[in-house]
Amino acid sequence: MLGQDIEVKNASVTSAARRLLNGDFRQEPYWWTAAPPEEFSDGFPDSTDVLIVGSGVTGTSAAYHLAKLGHQADVLDANLIGSGAARRNAGFLSRTLKKTFTTLARSHGEGFADAAFKEVNHAFDFVTSLIRELEIDCALEPSGRLVMATSPAHLTMMIDTFNDLHRQYGTPYEVVSEADIHREVGTTHYHGAVLIPGLAKFHPGLFHSGFVNRARSAGARFHARTKLERLKQTGNGFVAHTTRGTIRARQVLIATNGYNDNEMPWLKPRLAPFSGHMLATEELSPQLLRRLLPTNRGCTDSNTNLDYFHLAPGENRLLFGGRTGATPEIPLDMAWYLHRRMCRVFPELEDVRVSRLWSGKCAGTYDLMPHVGERNGVFFASGYNFAGTPIGALFGKKVADAVATGKAVDSIFATTRMPRFPLPVRRCGGVRIVMTYLDVKDWLIARGIL
């Protein structure tokens, strides 16, 4: 494989990538086939109660809950509605915080760590209940998650982490030994796994389009291709200058996460946008897929900079993601990089072609925690460090409640300072440095040094 890689690099990754593309190839998210981003333009208002910038899961949740509470809510998106990460993600619903309980307790105290873990647990319950309550047909499946160990030391570390979570919150988990892994996944690439029952998979496109639909039915208005360019505070609210004109708003929520530009300058040095990448294979035989993923669970590996894969809902395709943070000069090259990683896990997919390839933007924070709150009268919710669907949906609701009650946002993540990235990190390639650090960390864990 290595010799082949060098050969391919010399002969140009781009032509190797092109050879992998199936006849039906499209460079767009797999999810857009069933749920393409939408052109809604619900009448451009002069004024509104709450202006929401960004039509992803955060913005849509805020709009839905505000409308239900009887407030006018207008959602702007610089592009089409749902064109951000909300309809580009992997389709996993988790109870994830990027820090372990122990690390968080050490930096912020046990009380904070406890409240933070309770809130991310609640976010998962919140979004899954919402999907059921609103009857959004989005292939929600509580199929459980396998976290595959990339080294024996990673397995030991995961078992320690899940032991803590089980003791603290009763989080159920099972250890799958290396000898038993074939019952779950048809690969010899990993050194065992931890199975977390109850975590879910879903179709993010159908979820988001259903959610927008429910928000519009409740009275919220959506405005595609309307970019916020400048926000000015006035005596009794804000004037928003957009590419389609000016809107007065009593309150504003910035919900742009990885697509944040400079609409809220305070956020900019506190967020590090990075890209996530995925492919969908051509249609495969059901027998092959049953051999590769007999239990049909969502799979991630145990690295901080992880690979992730699962079966497409209702279709015989494998969805595979990885190489987070990397961006090749030619986007198409990513087909070759991801395919190579996929074949590292499943060598028998060597001749399988790629039908979809896409990327999306997320936002990292320096303390690896999500943040929500209000700054100089402007609400914000972002910095999800990859796993933003549950917590973004919850933050949207919490901002709506804060608007309705006139109180501060009721979240543990609103009580802690959102740190800026140090200048040297921002100046010297930001995300590249962070991803290199995470790769080194994974390497050190694998060798028992950390």
Ligand X SMILES: Cc1cc2nc3c(=O)[nH]c(=O)nc-3n(C[C@H](O)[C@H](O)[C@H](O)COP(=O)(O)OP(=O)(O)OC[C@H]3O[C@@H](n4cnc5c(N)ncnc54)[C@H](O)[C@@H]3O)c2cc1C
List interacting residues with ligand X (CB under 6 A): 53-59, 76-79, 83-86, 88-92, 227-228, 255-259, 261, 263, 276, 278, 321, 360, 362, 382, 384, 386-389, 392
Nearer to ligand X, 153 or 345 (CB): 345
Distances (CA, A) of 194 to 99, 191, 271, 297, 311: 17, 10, 31, 12, 19
Nearer to ligand X, 276 or 430 (CB): 276
Hey, what's the torsion of the CAs at 94, 99, 103, 109, to 10 degrees?
-70
Considering the complex, what minimum distance in angstroms separates the CB of residue 51 from ligand X? 10
Q: Cα separation of 256 and 267, whole Å? A: 10
Considering the complex, what minimum distance in angstroms separates the CB of residue 308 from ligand X? 7
Hey, what's the torsion of the CAs at 271, 120, 96, 393, to 10 degrees?
-60
Considering the complex, what minimum distance in angstroms separates the CB of residue 201 from ligand X? 8
Nearer to ligand X, 78 or 165 (CB): 78
Q: Cα separation of 390 and 121, whole Å? A: 9
The single residue listed with the structure tokens 């015989």 is 316
Instruction: Provide φ and ψ at 72, rounded to 5°.
Output: -70, 135
What sign for the dihedral angle of Cα 112, 113, 118, 124?
positive
Q: Among candidates 403, 377, 399, which has minimal Cα distance to 61?
A: 399
Nearer to ligand X, 10 or 262 (CB): 262
Nearer to ligand X, 346 or 358 (CB): 358
Question: What's the burial of 393, exposed, middle or buried (CB within 10 Å: 0-12/13-18/19+)?
Answer: buried
Nearer to ligand X, 264 or 403 (CB): 264
Instruction: Provide φ and ψ at 384, rounded to 5°.
Output: -85, -5
Nearer to ligand X, 143 or 151 (CB): 143
Nearer to ligand X, 244 or 441 (CB): 244
Q: Cα separation of 21 and 436, whole Å? A: 29
Q: Cα separation of 142 and 129, whole Å? A: 12
Instruction: Provide φ and ψ at 232, rounded to 5°.
Output: -125, 130
The single residue listed with the structure tokens 């505070």 is 233
Q: How far is CA 1 from the centre of its chain?
A: 31
Distances (CA, A) of 200 to 139, 192, 196, 203: 10, 21, 10, 10
Q: Among candidates 355, 433, 381, 442, which has minimal Cα distance to 65?
A: 381
Considering the complex, what minimum distance in angstroms separates the CB of residue 60 from ligand X? 7
Q: Among candidates 380, 384, 360, 356, which has minimal Cα distance to 370?
A: 384
Considering the complex, what minimum distance in angstroms separates the CB of residue 97 from ligand X? 12
Considering the complex, what minimum distance in angstroms separates the CB of residue 387 from ligand X? 4
Considering the complex, what minimum distance in angstroms separates the CB of residue 253 from ligand X? 10
Q: Cα separation of 324 and 361, whole Å? A: 10
Nearer to ligand X, 31 or 190 (CB): 31
Nearer to ligand X, 59 or 105 (CB): 59
Considering the complex, what minimum distance in angstroms separates the CB of residue 76 from ligand X? 4
The answer to whether residues 371 and 399 touch, using CB atoms and an 8 Å cutoff, is no
Nearer to ligand X, 71 or 310 (CB): 310
Considering the complex, what minimum distance in angstroms separates the CB of residue 321 from ligand X? 5
> Coil, helix or strand for 52?
strand
Considering the complex, what minimum distance in angstroms separates the CB of residue 273 from ligand X? 10
Considering the complex, what minimum distance in angstroms separates the CB of residue 98 from ligand X? 12
